[in-house]
Structure 1
């Protein structure tokens, strides 16, 4: 099983392999490096250290330097709405498991039809850095409004809709069975947590990858995602999943849509359409200029380097992707997908001590990106 970037020339591919594969790897004409010697041990250590940090946290102060289960993310959203006058919370739908998909709206003005920005994460449940970084960045926006010139300018211009977790059922399951979801399965877009689905999981039929389920070249060429046992299974039909339908309906209900930011991990990439085909969009100049500004600002914080470009060019071709859908169908000019830290040293097991540094650099990139959007509508 692989993770991270799928290679073209002069790139790399990450595999999770059983321990008896060393001889086979040695026999191949490949240059290989062991990133994580024992993935199961790494998962257990990561979970243990995060749980210890959570237990040591104050019961009254939210700790942004640890990963949080869904119940605590829900409570954080409710607390933000209760404590900040320009924050509201809304439910945009429910999952197969009966869980709410919640959105936090930040709007410092009562003016109608303000330009809307969507900050969305956790289409893939095992990518825990996605909601963790989104929570930290959202808090920074709220705390720095009125004192930080860059933040104030952005919030004065845009309404921002924050969706920390789209794949709520999958994220909950990834906390209940992390040794499965973070090692054995590509737990992306797993939308059912019933006993029947858990039995299917054991047999290999894992559910639907939400980032293959949008109605944009959904039934196109990809031969792997038609298999229900594939970890990139596109679903039985486009928008077959409650989560993708809810997100699509919500976004379409907002009239003045200007930017959509989709957060994933890992590979350190800033990407934009097209995903379903090679080639560039008619907005390629703005995409490239905004990505260049964003990645330069991001790198300036901690030195973390990002590659940018069209999804099909920098990672792989994808059908049914959210980034393409929001650009082509929702007509959002600036639709981007980010792959956060790292490049494979920890992969999906990014240590909790990297949450805040990841949030710091990503927020700098997003602020630079939105500044470009503001000046180049």
Structure 2
């Protein structure tokens, strides 16, 4: 109902006693009264909050060392590309940059392969983020976590054990065009979709741009009520399953790698660990392992800074979702442990999480992923 009224839903409800977050245009008091909701204003002026967050981050970036990458600020796409090149140069024996595809605007989608062994057919783990452009803490925390994995290999027992067993493929930004667009101005900061030009007659008539990449995978794509058919919606599913270059590139890349054992799709926000399925209720045959691995991961997350996560299936925790990445990777790419993480917070800042929370978010998320992969290792 909210999306049908042009409302941008930031976070869906995660159960009967939970809330949902949405952003209202000005002068929407009458509509709020008609919905008869009990509500709390989290961010009174989103435009002002965006401007403040951008200014604060830019000041921190300008104060950063010219030679040392600052993990405690958000970085534009050009700096992420440079970080990937620099990381490969420093850890050339462990790190390989892989070009996995390109976007509508001709930008490269890049992955890092982290492997400490030349052995063939090692178990493969995939970590990707920024399917949604405005979720800046997702790629920021992934960069920090990747650096920690490389720095701590050989000294930290948990990190060493994981890298000794798994090859890890990291895609910091899948939605490259959308991410670049979200950096252009305060007016574009909250852009979610990709930036694909309208192609179908329906899209052209709408005058709207972009597809929600996490509704575009060819898994129950045509089912009702799991994504929006409206090209102007933030959850628009696209003109067909895999209509988008980004979803095709990521899927083809993942499926080109053998011995796939885990897939982690990192988002923000909500503090959730989600597993399949999203398109229907009920348990999968792997439900016991999903629950146990999620319990281990969320306990490890909480142990770092006390941040509490809820876990469960997408359908039970959020809502019906179709065309999402983890359902596709679980069912079609046959990756048993396919999960999604929704990082900090629960709505105080939403997509505008202050940069000083990037490293704490990375610290707890890395602890959770290590615990999750430890469970994967012991329960294939």
Per the normalisation by structure 1, the TM-score is: 0.94
Q: Structure 1 residues 365, 269: closer, same or farther in 2, change over 3 A?
A: same
Name the residue aligned to 2:18: 11
Give the equivalent residue in structure 2 for 1:128: 136
**How far did 1:193 drift?**
7.4
1:241 aligns with 2:267: no
Task: Report the alpha carbon displacement of residue 11 of structure 1 after superposing the two structures with TM.
Answer: 1.5
1:45 aligns with 2:41: no
Match in the other structure for 1:77: 84
Counterpart CA distance in 2 for 1:189 and 1:116 is 28
Structure 1 residue 285: Cα displacement: 0.3
- Taking only aligned residues, the RMSD between alpha carbons, in angstroms, comes to 2.0
Deviations 1:168-209, CA, capped at 9 Å, x for gaps: 000001001342341xxxx33313379x9xxx99x7613111
Partner of 1:21: 28
* Separation of aligned partners in 1, 2:77 and 2:32: 39
Q: Distance in 1 between matches of 2:292 and 2:227?
A: 34
Mapped partners of 2:15, 2:73: distance in 1: 35
160, 167, 174: which one pairs with 1:166?
174
Q: Distance in 2 between matches of 1:170 and 1:297?
A: 32
> Which digits, 9 at most, give the CA deviation of each residue in 1:219-268, with x for residues without a partner?
11127511112211111111111111111111011010000000001111
Partner residue of 2:229 out of 226, 229, 232: 226
The size of the alignment, in residue pairs, is 370
Q: Greater CA deviation, 5-14 or 248-257?
A: 5-14
Asked whether the equivalents of residues 272 and 341 of structure 2 are also in contact (C-alpha less than 8 Å), the reply is yes
Corresponding position of 1:115 = 123
8 Å Cα contact 2:226/2:322 also seen in 1: no
Cα 1:27–1:167, aligned 2, differ >3 Å: closer, same or farther?
Answer: closer
Cα deviation, residue 335, structure 1: 0.1
Q: SS of the residue aligned with 1:339?
A: strand
| Contact in 1 for aligned 2:327/2:338 (Cα 8 Å) | yes
Matched residue SS, 2:121: coil
Say whether 1:321 aligns with 2:324: yes
Structure 1 330/3 Cα, relative in aligned 2: closer, same or farther at 3 Å? same
Query: Is 1:191 equivalent to 2:198 in the alignment?
Result: no
Contact 1:215 1:239 in 2 (8 A): yes
Separation (CA, whole Å) in 2 of partners of 1:20 and 1:45: 23
Match of 1:367 among 364, 367, 370: 370
Aligned to 2:311, what secondary structure does the other structure show?
strand
The gaps in structure 1 that reach 5 residues or longer are: none
Counterpart of 2:349?
346
Query: Which segment drifts farther, 230-239 or 329-338?
Result: 230-239
Shift of 1:119: 0.5
Contact map agreement 1:102 1:163 (CA 8 A) in 2: yes
Query: Is residue 170–residue 193 contact of structure 1 (8 Å, CA) maintained in 2?
Result: no
Whether the aligned pair in 1 keeps the contact of 2:139 and 2:173 (CA below 8 Å) is: yes
Distance 1:341 1:155 in 2: 26
Q: How big is the shift at 1:108?
A: 0.2
* Cα pair distance change 1:19/1:233, threshold 3 Å: closer
